[in-house]
Amino acid sequence: MQTVLHAAAMVPMSIPSPSWSGFDIPLPWGTLRIHAYALCILAGIIVGLWLTSARWKRRGAPEGSLWDIAIWAIPFGIIGGRLYHVFSSPDAYFGPGFDGTGDLSLIPQIQRGGLGIWGAVILGAVGAWIGCRRAGVKLTAFLDAAAPGLLLAQAIGRLGNWFNQELFGAPTTLPWGLEIDPANANFPPDMAAGTLFHPTFLYEMLWNLVGVAILLLLDKKFNFRWGRLFWLYAVYYTLGRVWIEALRIDDAEQINLFGITTRLNVWTSIFVFIAALAIFFILGRRGRPVPDTPYLAGREPEEKAEKEPVPVTSVTSHDVDASVSDTGSRGNLPDNQSDSGHVDEPQETAGKPEKDTTSATDSTSAATAARKAPGSTPKADDTK
């Protein structure tokens, strides 16, 4: 027991922030700085694409179409995420109150951190739509396949905030409080050195990982279509983002609505949550599409099935009789009668209608037997 208590005492009662945030690659004209934040974003994209690729393939999508979509969606998403961050936290770029005292050169420097998820999702969806149109697949089908992978990418990307020592929460005395270097520019100037903060990056990371498992399980059970899994992702993510965002103390645009002043991202999460939940239930009333295909109408792959030979049906006496016209029968009569060797044959046949009809009963229908009455042509009698 004492050993266990001693081991517990040795466990640090806080989460230290990494002192390492990247490395330099020497080049002939200088150095290239590789930031840990960028590596986390890249790792999230790779792992998210891996999960999306597996799900996309299982839905019967054309091979290689994921990369046709990703080449549009990823750049659009990064640009959209950066623009959303710039306009939701404008002071550093435009100055307080947009007074022009900010530094516009900081806008493209995404290695410093700052990607807003809502801008990334909106503009990324535009890029995905372009890629889907070019690949001949449905955007809704792709969004359903990508939803868990998107949440997984966000979970891994959140580690970048840890390396940058940014976007942490309010002070806390909890044993998992986050240490921030007092010399770091993000350390609140009115806080004492050694103050611990809520590790909001960790909260969101864990929330997202649990969400990935939930989305996969629900999709396996209900097989969501029409983009419903994507909207369920939005519902889940915004539900967590509201309380996580409310913990943060970094500079952000404050919005007053309904007499409540809070961060722009909190209001955005609330409105997206309501809209996503409504859309999820509305789409559920449409039922499942039949057939369920990821292809756009008219872009389905051509079938390569071999042509099967057309079966030939047997010809019956009924078919033969039906193919002989009255005119043809009358045209053959004079020739048959003019042949002295065959003059009596039709008369003999005509004289025994009951016998012939009885013998044909086992092999022909009643309709065929009726046609073998007096007046039948010799050719018709040959079918007996």
Residue positions forming the annotated binding site: 158
> What are the CA-CA distances from residue 262 to residues 81, 97, 203, 251, 268 (Å)?
21, 17, 20, 12, 11
Task: Tell me how far apart the alpha carbons of residues 274 and 348 are, in angstroms, rounded to a whole number.
Answer: 95
Determine if the peptide bond prior to 291 is cis (ω within 30°): yes
- Type of residue at 86: V
**Short-list 162, 204, 163, 208, CA closest to 51:** 208
- Buried b or exposed e, range 194-233, using 16+ CB within 10 angstroms: ebbbbbbbbbbbebbeebbeebbebbeeeebbbbbbbbbb
**What φ, ψ does residue 254 adopt, rounded to 5°?**
-100, 135
Number of CB atoms found within 10 A of residue 155's CB: 21
Tell me the chain's radius of gyration from C-alpha atoms. Answer: 40
Question: Under a CB-based contact definition with an 8 Å cutoff, are residues 69 and 135 in contact?
Answer: yes
Number of CB atoms found within 10 A of residue 353's CB: 14
Question: Under a CB-based contact definition with an 8 Å cutoff, are residues 137 and 299 in contact?
Answer: yes
Tokens of 64: 């290689």
DSSP 61: P
Question: Under a CB-based contact definition with an 8 Å cutoff, are residues 131 and 73 in contact?
Answer: yes
- Token match 């309904």: residue? 258
Tokens of 94: 């435009």
